[in-house]
Amino acid sequence: MFRFDNTYARLPEAFYARVAAARVPSPRLIKWNSELADELSRERLQYTEEELADYFSGNRELQGSDPIALAYAGHQFGSFVPSLGDGRALLLGEVVNSREQRFDLQLKGSGRTPFSRGGDGKAPLGPVLREYLVSEAMHHLGLPTSRSLAAVLTGEPVYRDRALPGAVLTRVASSHIRIGTFEYFASRQDHENLKTLLDYTIQRHYPEIRGEPDAPVLFLGKVGRLQAELVSGWMALGFIHGVMNTDNMSVAGETIDYGPCAFMDEFSHDRVYSFIDQGGRYAYSSQMPIVLWNLSRLAECLLPLMPQDSKEAVPILENELASTQEFLERRAHEKMCSKLGIFDSPGPQDKKLVKDWLSYLERENLDFTQSFRNLAELVSLSNYPGWFSPGNELKEFCDRWRRRVMQQGLDPEEIKNRMNEHNPVFIPRNHKIEQVIEAGNQGDFSLFHEMSELLKNPYQEQEGFNSYTLPPRPEEMVANTFCGT
Ligand code: AMP
Ligand code: MG
């Protein structure tokens, strides 16, 4: 059984609305993540598929849960929206596992809440399958992320541009506290609840700074480090979140709110996948400045909680942001260097290597993921192979690169193996996800199951799944991914 301990639901009422999940006509389990379930519960859950479908569609309440929809605000594409909140999600509660780790259990697509505004609170199958695959892949690729415990069909259509099968995703995160949660209270000048939120968040995620007089700035630093670590990890994987609004940025530093996100195929600094991101605000390379922009919004929220007056407090917060920026740039560079086989301290000349390699990929429209894997093959070859385009530019790069990686005094085979630990073979490619969704809409989940198995070992070659390693053919190209609504 899950052991629930719902601390968020014991916060003041301004933090959430109590709501029950909507009933659905005929829930059917698509996927149960039993490995994750084992990590969350004290002993193996003994539910039948029918019971799982009932519980994780919202038809039946798990004992000990206390469902609430959380209030938050946020900057969406740069504009402040004072009231967002869980419009199609419901926090069932927090479960505590045998190692005393605490996780939020949340249903997504479980019906309307007081925060739904014009929306129906439901989720079509497509976004549920997408989030399941991408969040689990992110976890197995090694980055902090919300995870997916279950996907259930509701047996009820959801109306978008057409009728689609409805589904509910159960997601698990270390919390759902966002920068936008701080903005919710700060914008209302509700400093009492803002302080309650800060204390609660510190207690939950950063207990080591509890009671410190300068806790607000220490908190900014902690969140900044984790978000910088996360976004530099996205950059290294060619991941584009797509909607880095402040309401989609967790203060626990996990990837949350998978909507129109994608792993890049052909490399471009300016790549955008989301059709709602017309201005390219959240393009691949913009993710670094944007994470800092978002953290500045968090810093503004923390200003009234600083012990100093604002004239003194502003430069303290700004200093912290400047040091986060330095950290972000350093980590992004180090991660790119590891992908290139540079494992000792990267020096200034290595910046040029990274830049030249990425410019080459961009100019030649090469696949980001495959190209790093291919490059690793070249460490130990004395001649360049046939697929290698014979341009002088690449040869010049490779000569320089090989000299650099060989300086480390490592065996070429070891360099290759270590590079491969940073360069996945398998990523959840967008066109493959689209094929999974199309089949799912027809009631066929075999591709979904195949892909989710495969993505459990993304860094290992796996026989027979070559098509998952390739970029899309022209007829398979997906120009946009659509918002998860
Ligand atoms: P997102 O950009 O997907 O994170 O969502 C932004 C806001 O819109 C959040 O407050 C969501 O809860 C809300 N929202 C998105 N889709 C729906 C929906 N189908 N029904 C109600 N609210 C929604
Ligand atoms: Mg969101």
Query: CA 196, CA 203: separation in Å to the nearest integer?
Result: 10
Furthest C-alpha separation in the chain: 68
**Confidence band of 385 (pLDDT split at 50, 70, 90):** low
> Which tokens hold the place of 145?
């992320």
Q: Which residue has the tokens 């591709």?
A: 447
Q: Which residue has the tokens 């398979």?
A: 476
> Which tokens hold the place of 435?
């094929």
Query: Which residues, at least 6 apart from 13, have a Cβ–Cβ distance to it below 8 Å?
Result: none
Residue with CA closest to ligand 1 atom 14? 87
Is the Cβ–Cβ distance between 397 and 423 less than 8 Å? no
Query: Which residues, at least 6 apart from 69, have a Cβ–Cβ distance to it below 8 Å?
Result: 16, 17, 19, 85, 86, 87, 89, 90, 91, 113, 114, 115
Catalytically annotated residue among 54, 86, 104, 247:
247
pLDDT digits (tens, 9 = 90+) for 433-472: 999 999 999 999 999 999 999 999 999 999 999 999 999 9
Q: Which residue has the tokens 């270390």?
A: 174
Query: CA 446, CA 401: separation in Å to the nearest integer?
Result: 42
**Confidence band of 390 (pLDDT split at 50, 70, 90):** low
pLDDT at 414: 97
Query: CA 231, CA 85: separation in Å to the nearest integer?
Result: 24
Query: Which residues, at least 6 apart from 62, have a Cβ–Cβ distance to it below 8 Å?
Result: 2, 4, 55, 92, 93, 105
Q: Where are the alpha helices (DSSP H) in 261-391?
A: 287-302, 310-339, 348-363, 368-377
Residue with CA closest to ligand 1 atom 7? 84
**Confidence band of 396 (pLDDT split at 50, 70, 90):** confident
Query: Which residues, at least 6 apart from 155, have a Cβ–Cβ distance to it below 8 Å?
Result: 24, 25, 26, 27, 28, 166
pLDDT digits (tens, 9 = 90+) for 138-162: 999 999 999 999 999 999 999 999 9
- Whether 389 shows a pLDDT value over 70: the answer reads no
pLDDT at 386: 62
- Mean pLDDT, the chain, whole residue set: 95
Residue with CA closest to ligand 1 atom 6? 84
| Contact 87 CB / ligand 1 (< 6 Å) | yes
Residue 126's closest CA among 166, 98, 81, 154? 166
> Which tokens hold the place of 314?
């502003």
| Contact 85 CB / ligand 1 (< 6 Å) | yes
Residue with CA closest to ligand 1 atom 16? 485
pLDDT at 454: 97
Is the Cβ–Cβ distance between 455 and 138 less than 8 Å? no
> Which tokens hold the place of 3?
């052991």
Q: Where are the alpha helices (DSSP H) in 364-445?
A: 368-377, 392-406, 412-420, 430-441
Ligand 1 midpoint to CA 68 (Å): 15
Query: CA 237, CA 240: separation in Å to the nearest integer?
Result: 9
- Whether 301 shows a pLDDT value over 90: the answer reads yes
Burial readout 279-299 (b: 16 or more C-beta within 10 A, e: otherwise): eebbbbebbbebbbebbbbbb
pLDDT at 478: 81
Question: Which ligand number lies closest to the CA of residue 483?
Answer: 1
Ligand 1 midpoint to CA 86 (Å): 7
| Contact 484 CB / ligand 1 (< 6 Å) | yes
> Which tokens hold the place of 309?
């007056």
Q: Is 444 known to be catalytic?
A: no
| Contact 119 CB / ligand 1 (< 6 Å) | yes
- Whether 62 shows a pLDDT value over 70: the answer reads yes
Query: CA 329, CA 326: separation in Å to the nearest integer?
Result: 5
Residue 434's closest CA among 126, 125, 109, 108? 126
- Whether 384 shows a pLDDT value over 80: the answer reads no
Query: CA 421, CA 417: separation in Å to the nearest integer?
Result: 7
Residue 302 phi/psi, 5-degree rounding, is -80, -15
Least confident of 390-394, 467-471, 480-484: 480-484
Ligand 1 midpoint to CA 137 (Å): 23
Least confident of 12-21, 375-384, 455-464: 375-384
| Contact 84 CB / ligand 1 (< 6 Å) | yes
Rounded to whole angstroms, what are the CA distances from 245 to 109, 281, 294? Answer: 20, 10, 8
Residue with CA closest to ligand 1 atom 15? 485
- Whether 383 shows a pLDDT value over 90: the answer reads no
Is the Cβ–Cβ distance between 291 and 328 less than 8 Å? yes
pLDDT at 45: 84
Q: Which residue has the tokens 């626990």?
A: 252
**Confidence band of 43 (pLDDT split at 50, 70, 90):** confident
Burial of 357 (0-12, 13-18, 19+ CB in 10 A): buried
**Confidence band of 1 (pLDDT split at 50, 70, 90):** confident
The residue type found at 463 is E
Four-point Cα dihedral 139, 224, 238, 482, nearest 10 = 80
Atom nearest to 109 CA in ligand 1:
19
Residues of the chain with pLDDT > 90, as a percent, come to 91
- Whether 97 shows a pLDDT value over 90: the answer reads yes
pLDDT at 315: 98
Question: Which ligand number lies closest to the CA of residue 247?
Answer: 2
Least confident of 39-43, 86-90, 449-453: 39-43
pLDDT at 393: 76
Residue 236's closest CA among 270, 267, 274, 277? 267
Rounded to whole angstroms, what are the CA distances from 429 to 254, 409, 435? Answer: 21, 36, 10
